[in-house]
Amino acid sequence: MKIVLASRLDKDEAVAYAASLASFLEETGHEIAFESGTAEHLGREGVPFEEFSADLVVVVGGDGSVLLAVHRMRRQIPLLGINWGEVGFLTSLEPEEVPAFVSDHLQHFTVEPRMRISLSADGRWLGNALNEAVIITSRPAKMLRFAVAINGVHTDRFRADGLLISTPTGSTAYAMSAGGPIVDPRIEGVLLVPLAPYMLSSRPHVISSDRSLQVRLEGAKPAHLVIDGQATFELERDTVIDVVKAKEPALLVNAGKHFFERVDHKLRCL
C-alpha cells in the first residue's frame, strides 16, 4: 500500500513521531512518502499536497491539520488522522492505538464519506468546507444583517455578530460552541447558526442538502467569509452566498469507533 505521511509542523514531537511511524509502516511492507513540508523538516524529499497520489494519507496533528490536508488535496484520498492536538474530532486514532490498527485493520480499512459544502459569492466559486464557513464582521462590535432564502423562498432576516454555515461534521466544532446542535455526520444537511443574534427568536436551522440555500449579506458594513479556517474572502455589500452540497466528499478512515461515543469521550476531555 502506498501511504503519504503529513505532520503538523509547529510541534517537533509530532514530526518526530511521523518519522518513527514511517519506519514502522515500511517494516510492515508499505511504501511511504512524506508531504513536502514534513519532508523538509526531516531533510528528505517530499510530495506537495496538490500532487498526492496514494492509497492512504496519514495526518499527524489536530483538526486543523486534517482540514488543511483535505483542502489542499486536488482529489480526495482516504485520510487517517492521528491525534496530536487538543481534542481531535476529525482524527480517528490516538498515537497509542496505531500499532493495533495497523496490525488488524490497515490492509482492509473502511472509509466514511463526509459531506462538504461548496460556497460561491455572486457566482464566483470560493471553495469547499468540511467543517464550516463563517461570515464575520471586519469591524469589532458591529453587527451584520443577513437574509436567508431556501429554494428561492425568503425564510428569515436577522441581525447578528456573524453567521456559521456548517456541515454535520462541523457541528462539533465552532457551531457547537455557538449553541448549535450536534448532528450525526451521516445526515446530509446544512446548519445555519447565528452568532450572538440580536433577537432571541433567531435560532439555528438544519436544512436538507438537496435544497438550494442562499445567504445575502445586507447593508454596507465590511465582512469576511472564512472557510474551515484555511481561506478568507472579503465580502461586498449585498453579496449573495450560494451554498450547495459539494460533488466530492472528504474520505475519513473509519477506525470502528461509534460517533456518539467518541463525541462523549472528546467532550469529557475538554
* 221: pLDDT strictly greater than 90: no
Q: Pseudo-torsion of CA 39, 40, 41, 42, nearest 10°?
A: 50
Sheet holding 56-61, edge to edge: 31-34, 2-7, 56-61, 79-83, 250-254, 110-114
CB-based contact 257:83 (threshold 8 Å): no
Burial 37-76 (b: 16+ CB within 10 A, else e): bbbebbeeebbebeebebebbbbbbbbbbbbbbbbebeeb
**Predicted structure pTM score:** 0.93
**259 and 154 in one domain?**
no
Q: What is the mean pLDDT of residues 68-81?
A: 96
* 56: pLDDT strictly greater than 80: yes
**125 and 72 in one domain?**
no
The residue from 10, 12, 55, 63 that is catalytic is: 63
**104 and 219 in one domain?**
no
**97 and 122 in one domain?**
no
**173 and 71 in one domain?**
no
pLDDT score recorded for residue 74: 92
**87 and 53 in one domain?**
yes
Question: What's the grid cell of residue 104?
Answer: 488488524
**216 and 186 in one domain?**
yes
**264 and 195 in one domain?**
no
**132 and 51 in one domain?**
no
Is residue 228 annotated as part of the catalytic site, yes or no? no
**166 and 238 in one domain?**
yes
Q: What is the pLDDT of residues 153-184, one digit of tens each?
A: 999 999 999 999 999 999 999 999 999 999 99
Question: Which residues span the domain enclosing 234?
Answer: 117-245
Question: What's the grid cell of residue 59?
Answer: 495526518
What is the CATH classification number for the domain harbouring 58? 3.40.50.10330
CB-based contact 149:214 (threshold 8 Å): yes
What is the CATH classification number for the domain harbouring 172? 2.60.200.30
**121 and 89 in one domain?**
no
**84 and 150 in one domain?**
no
Query: What confidence category does residue 45 fall into, taking pLDDT thresholds of 50, 70 and 90?
Result: very high
Domain count, the chain: 2
pLDDT score recorded for residue 270: 57
pLDDT score recorded for residue 97: 94
Instruction: Report strand pairing: 162-166 vs 132-137.
Output: antiparallel
